[in-house]
Amino acid sequence: MGKGQRAINAYKSTEYIEQPRDKDGLLIGRKSADPFKLVPESSSLLLQQKEQAGTVAAAAPVAAKAPESSARESGGEDAAHELAAVPTFILVTTYLSFLMLIVFAHMRDFFGKMFHPEEYTQLRVQNGYAPIVSDFESLWVRRLYGRIRDCFNRPITGVAGGRVSLLERYSMDFNRSFQFTGRLNNVLNLASYNYLGFAQSEGPCADKVEEAMREGGITQGSTRSEVGCTRLLADTEDMVARFVGAEAAIIVSMGYATNALNIPTLASKGSLIISDELNHSSLVAGARLSGAAIHVFRHNNVRDLEKVLRRSIAQGQPRTHRPWKKILVIVEGLYSMEGEFCNLPEIIELRRRYKFHLFVDEAHSIGALGKRGRGICDHFGVDPREVDVLMGTFTKSFGATGGYIAGSRALIDHLRVNSLSAVYAEAMSVPVLAQVSSSMRMIMGEDREHALEGQQRLDQLALNSRYFAQGLKNLGFMTLGNPGSPVVPLLLFNPAKIPAFSRECLRRNVAVVVVSYPATPIITGRVRFCISASHTREDLDYALEQISEIGDLLMLKFHKGDVSAGANSKAIEYAAKMD
Ligand SMILES: Cc1ncc(COP(=O)(O)O)c(C=O)c1O
């Protein structure tokens, strides 16, 4: 038996335990890591479950308690530690590969322009008009991205749930164009942000959406501040405020625009924005649009944030050295490329000391972290009122679209009148609001007919995330992120391994997202797995098996791993704790 096979068996044989269920599929007990020990489900829970018969999440085969959050489960240190262990050979070959790709791309363009000038007209001045795309951007797209374009923009059909249907396609001209074969590939989906599995076209939320659409149609044909504010919008805003623990909330019809169009309402010339270096593009866009000065601190590094704060406060505004009108520190709750939680408790300590306003983007953490799914504050047990601006989106955990900002009533009243998104953008569509409110009610346990389902999804997500990340670690892969993060990045390094990994996964019917420079630092190209409550243990085992084989093929197992029996011991310990 090869090393890979032993590794696969190691986590499979000891970790996957079929849970006993009654004929309705409800849990009647939970087998622990010891296969002979059956832990009876508490009778009251069983009773409650029985009362809710038929309402258990179809996609949630195991019920378990949410993890205890540990404020000291640091992802940042892990990441630094992981990278320090990268063999020099890998570092050198990765840089050399990029260098060679760029040098060859320039050479091909140089000779191409000389011998086939007609193919480069878009890069030359024509009739006095400047070229619309810059030379380097075009080179990057044609010579690097173009070569691996088949790994991106894969057209899908149907619901992006635990599985997804891809439209099979091929290219006869090195990815310049694609033709469809007419066949569908039903693949395991580790690529979509569908943390709680609410991306569904049937079930209680879909029913509510259909009902709402028949009543209210698709569009209000107006902005929120004119005649676009429906009753459902106002009610959902109140529910969001309650959910996150704030006084009030405002909903915006697009997550990206929630940041890009509201940050300019919070900061302006004379203000200072201090931003984590890995903040999402929507935060960067909003900060730039605001006209405020922008200082950047090292990713998730509270010491560096303090240094930047002290220096900025001491120096004041440029030239005049007047004090800043206000300072806004912007961080994310869960960094989606790193799978890392922000160090919220320490940032809040700083906030008390330096009196800045704190903006936390919870796009990925809301609904996905914390015992009650209330995000990063819930995870750390922090009072949400310690955060001035709580932003989040409905695209990830709620199976919907759009975003929100929550905070004090004064803040939200200010945004209702002044925010570009409230004054100029279309109000949130009624069916989308129905999806948000029905899924949120379920998470809060306020939907009587499905009282347990939300919590089950939260528990399942927490369990799946830990199981999968631990499985990868045991196999010897280098991963980033905090335990319990539904985003699990696995480092691939060399540029050639990035498309190879994606294509091998697709060949084995697994859809993944690979990410490389410039979206990540040049050295840390990666595949980013998104785990969902709708994944079953069989799904995750299948994925781990396939990834293990690909890891052997592409030489991605940088650690020794743990192939002994009981290799997935941390996940087992965790599952046992849940029992
Ligand atoms: C941190 C963060 N903020 C905002 C957004 C934008 O949200 P949406 O995709 O809902 O427009 C994203 C998208 O992934 C994100 O990761």
Asked if the model's pLDDT at residue 211 lies above 50, the reply is yes
The pLDDT value recorded for residue 222 is: 95
Give me the phi and psi of 244, to 5 degrees please.
Answer: -90, -10
The pLDDT value recorded for residue 564 is: 52
Kindly report, residue by residue over 17-54, the tens digit of the pLDDT. Answer: 344 433 333 333 444 333 223 333 333 333 333 333 33
Confidence of residue 134 (pLDDT cuts 50, 70, 90): confident
Residues listed for the chain: 579
> Given strand 510-511, what is the order of strands in its sheet?
156-157, 163-170, 179-189, 510-511
Asked if the model's pLDDT at residue 539 lies above 70, the reply is yes
- Which residue minimizes the CA distance to atom 5 of ligand 1? 256
- Which residue minimizes the CA distance to atom 4 of ligand 1? 256
The pLDDT value recorded for residue 59 is: 31
**Distance from Cα 361 to the centre of ligand 1, integer Å:** 9
Average pLDDT over residues 62-69: 35
Average pLDDT over residues 52-72: 34
Asked if the model's pLDDT at residue 10 lies above 80, the reply is no
Mean per-residue pLDDT of the chain: 86
The pLDDT value recorded for residue 573 is: 53
Is the CB–ligand 1 distance for residue 279 below 6 Å?
Answer: no
Average pLDDT over residues 408-413: 98
Give, in words, the CATH class of 1-189+452-579: alpha beta
Pocket residue to mutate for ligand 1, from 261, 393, 432, most atoms within 8 A of Cβ: 393
Percent with pLDDT over 70 in the chain: 82
**Distance from Cα 300 to the centre of ligand 1, integer Å:** 18
Residues of CATH 3.90.1150.10 domain(s) within the chain? 1-189+452-579
The pLDDT value recorded for residue 490 is: 97
Average pLDDT over residues 321-334: 97
Average pLDDT over residues 241-268: 98
Residues of CATH 3.40.640.10 domain(s) within the chain? 204-449
Q: What atom of ligand 1 comes closest to residue 259's alpha carbon?
A: 4
Tell me which of 3.10.129.10, 3.40.640.10, 3.40.50.300, 3.80.10.10 is the CATH number of domain 204-449. 3.40.640.10
The pLDDT value recorded for residue 171 is: 96
Beta strands 38-40 and 389-393, pairing class: unpaired
Kindly report, residue by residue over 485-527, the tens digit of the pLDDT. Answer: 999 999 999 999 999 999 999 999 999 999 998 888 889 999 9
DSSP readout, 398-465? SSS--EEEEE-HHHHHHHHHH-HHHHHSBPPPHHHHHHHHHHHHHHHT--GGGTTHHHHHHHHHHHHH
The pLDDT value recorded for residue 79 is: 56
Asked if the model's pLDDT at residue 565 lies above 70, the reply is no
Average pLDDT over residues 280-292: 97
Asked if the model's pLDDT at residue 61 lies above 50, the reply is no
Is the CB–ligand 1 distance for residue 194 below 6 Å?
Answer: no
Q: Which of 466, 516, 470, 511 is nearest to 491 (CA)?
A: 516
Cα gap 60→294, rounded to integer Å? 44
Is the CB–ligand 1 distance for residue 336 below 6 Å?
Answer: yes
Q: What atom of ligand 1 comes closest to residue 403's alpha carbon?
A: 10
Is the CB–ligand 1 distance for residue 259 below 6 Å?
Answer: yes
Higher pLDDT, 63 or 126: 126
Widest CA span in the chain: 81
Q: Is 178 left (phi over 0), alpha (psi -120 to 50) or beta?
A: beta
Confidence of residue 560 (pLDDT cuts 50, 70, 90): confident
Is the CB–ligand 1 distance for residue 254 below 6 Å?
Answer: yes
Is the CB–ligand 1 distance for residue 258 below 6 Å?
Answer: no
Q: What atom of ligand 1 comes closest to residue 402's alpha carbon?
A: 10
∠ Cα 249 534 149 (to 5°)? 90
Asked if the model's pLDDT at residue 132 lies above 50, the reply is yes
Most confident of 85-89, 112-116, 322-326: 322-326
CB 566 within 8 A of CB 19: no
Q: Which residue type is seen at 431?
A: P
Task: For the chain, give percent helix, strand, coil, nearest 5.
Answer: 45, 15, 40
Pocket residue to mutate for ligand 1, from 193, 252, 253, 256, most atoms within 8 A of Cβ: 256
Kindly report, residue by residue over 434-450, the tens digit of the pLDDT. Answer: 999 999 999 999 999 99
- Which residue minimizes the CA distance to atom 3 of ligand 1? 363
Asked if the model's pLDDT at residue 5 lies above 80, the reply is no
The pLDDT value recorded for residue 62 is: 31
The pLDDT value recorded for residue 463 is: 97
Cα gap 50→48, rounded to integer Å? 5
Q: What atom of ligand 1 comes closest to residue 280's alpha carbon?
A: 1
Q: What atom of ligand 1 comes closest to residue 282's alpha carbon?
A: 4
Is the CB–ligand 1 distance for residue 394 below 6 Å?
Answer: no
The pLDDT value recorded for residue 333 is: 98
Is the CB–ligand 1 distance for residue 534 below 6 Å?
Answer: no
